[in-house]
Chain A
Amino acid sequence: GGIITQTPKFLIGQEGQKLTLKCQQNFNHDTMYWYRQDSGKGLRLIYYSITENDLQKGDLSEGYDASREKKSSFSLTVTSAQKNEMAVFLCASRLGPNYAEQFFGPGTRLTVL
């Protein structure tokens, strides 16, 4: 088995601040994802990466940057934190784009003051 680790678990930032969220997986999976979940709602895809150094925009990429420097890690940057960005950010991975199951990390909870 493997695990997905997200750091930090809780992130408190100031409005306008640049914030970085990190994700590590030891499944040796090719594909990784960043989703955002707002309270009581479903997930929305921000960025995904099919392999190392690949980046693809999702439905909600505006206001975010991402980085996949190596296969096991995928970082997400909030370029300028806004009040309406209090949410949970979930990282996920999958062996390849055509494999069924996505494994999720526990999430990073962002609060903007």
Chain B
Amino acid sequence: DAKTTQPDSMESTEGETVHLPCSHATISGNEYIYWYRQVPLQGPEYVTHGLQQNTTNSMAFLAIASDRKSSTLILPHVSLRDAAVYHCILRLIASSSFSKLVFGQGTSLSVVP
């Protein structure tokens, strides 16, 4: 399974734009890049995903490098509610068309007022 590498932790201030990096140097052509986040005592929450093109939604902007070996989740104007562990994961597509999510340790983002 292809793996991802993220910093263990990052800190930001309310209102800032945060860039969360993820390295996936061995990603294969049929793997999507997913981002989930998790706060204590809750299950992970889907943030966004992409394949090659940058994507944007109400939560975040996902920038994917042209060689797909890295990506950056960009959170504009973070608030205290954005403090969470952010997981960058790759979606593996098995022969049966079922795909599982392989989670790593993630980046713990703390936000201070």
Give A contacts to B, CB under 8 Å.
4, 31, 33, 35, 37, 40-45, 48, 50, 56, 58, 90-92, 97-98, 100-107
**Please, how many angstroms separate the alpha-carbon atoms of A80 and B101 in the complex?**
26
Please count how many residues in chain B sit with their CB below 8 Å of the partner chain's CB atoms: 22
From A42, A50, A58, A104, B43 is in contact (CB under 8 Å) with A104
Bound state CA distance, A92 and B101, in angstroms? 11
- Is the beta-carbon distance between B105 and A41 smaller than 8 angstroms? yes
Given known A-B contacts A40-B105, A100-B49, A45 and B43 have beta carbons under 8 A apart: no
B43-61 Cβ-contact flags toward A at 8 Å (1 or 0): 1111001000000000000
Decide yes or no whether B30 CB sits under 8 A from chain A: no
Which residues in B have their C-beta under 8 angstroms from that of A31? 98
B103 / chain A contacts, CB cutoff of 8 Å = 35, 37, 42-44
